[in-house]
Amino acid sequence: MLNWFHRLGSPKTFFEISGRWQVPLLSLAVLMLAGGAAWALLFVPPDYQQGNSVRIMYIHVPAAILAQSGYVMMAGAAAVFLIWRIKLADVAVKCVAPLGASITFLALVTGAIWGKPTWGTWWVWDARLTSTLVLFFLYIGVIALRSAMDRQAGVGRACAILALVGVVNLPVIKYSVDWWYSLHQPASFSLTEKPSMPIEMWLPLLVMVIAYYLFFFSVWMMRIRNEILVREKNTDWVKQWLAVR
């Protein structure tokens, strides 16, 4: 396990393995996204109260899930970097921040668009919405800190610590709807609890959640590969790889 961990921690090994995976992974993600969206738009029955606007759930809920679980992954990579000083973990933290920020932004905006026809408002300062906005600013903070400390010693460590401190926001987002009165409804999608909707509405949601995860991983991988090329440009293996491009 530890051996495997160290092997994958080498930029060269990661670059080789991810090179084989990136095209099939991204293709599968795009295929599932397109299929899931077509399913959600054409075949899912309307909701008894919301009507057709329930179709927005299929892009909003996976984005909201990924916004949070992307942060967990960023914090995990940050912890690995701080403890083992594996450089690839720092690359991972750097590359996931803009991706996470864009997905959080997507969750916020699709939520606002969904809120207008269902709640009657684009936005309220309730606990769930506000803590998700804080999540967005945490991602932005990690990006901003990195660009402010560009190429200074300790930039990786500073970003990693900021990412870890932000973890406290995650339970706040998750339990905000249980701890306080809010406008936002409790979770619609969970793998551990009985679905709160019939199977013909739940299954396409599952497809979309998996598709978003696959998409997230493949795009993250593409960014990491670019960053490796930049950081390792003076090594022989990168020069050899470039020679055949």
Partner 1 sequence: MKFESLTAFFYMDGHGIYIWAAYGLTLVILAANVWFPLIARRNIIRAEKSAVLKAMNRKL
Partner 2 sequence: MKFGRMKSHRRNRLLLIVFIVCAAGGATTFALFALNENINLFYSPDQIAQGEAPVGKTIRAGGMVQDDSVTRTGEGLGVSFVISDMKSAQVTVEFEGILPDMFREGQGVIALGQLNSEGVFVAEEVLAKHDENYMPPEVAAALEEAHESGVDTGQKAGYE
The contact set with partner 2 (CB under 8 A) reads: 1-2, 5, 45-51, 54, 57, 79, 82-84, 117-121, 124-127, 161, 164-165, 167-169, 172, 179-183, 185-188, 196-198, 200-201
Nearest-10 crossing angle of helices 2-9, 87-118: 90
Q: How many of the other CB atoms lie within 10 Å of CB of 131?
A: 19
Is there a contact between 66 and 217 (Cβ–Cβ < 8 Å)? no
Q: Which is nearer to partner 2, 51 or 154 (CB)?
A: 51
Q: Which range of residues in 8-16, 78-86, 164-172, 228-236 is near partner 1 by CB under 8 A?
A: 228-236
d(CA 28, CA 15): 20
Q: Which of residues 116-145 bind partner 1 (CB under 8 A)?
A: 116-117
| 33, interface contact from partner 1, partner 2, none, CB < 5-8 Å by kind | partner 1
55 binds partner 1, rule: CB under 8 A: yes
Q: Which is nearer to partner 1, 10 or 226 (CB)?
A: 226
Q: How many of the other CB atoms lie within 10 Å of CB of 243?
A: 7
Q: Which residue type is seen at 141?
A: G
**List 65, 103, 138, 160, residue binding partner 1 (CB under 8 A):** 103
* The two three-digit tokens of residue 104, written as one number: 């959080």
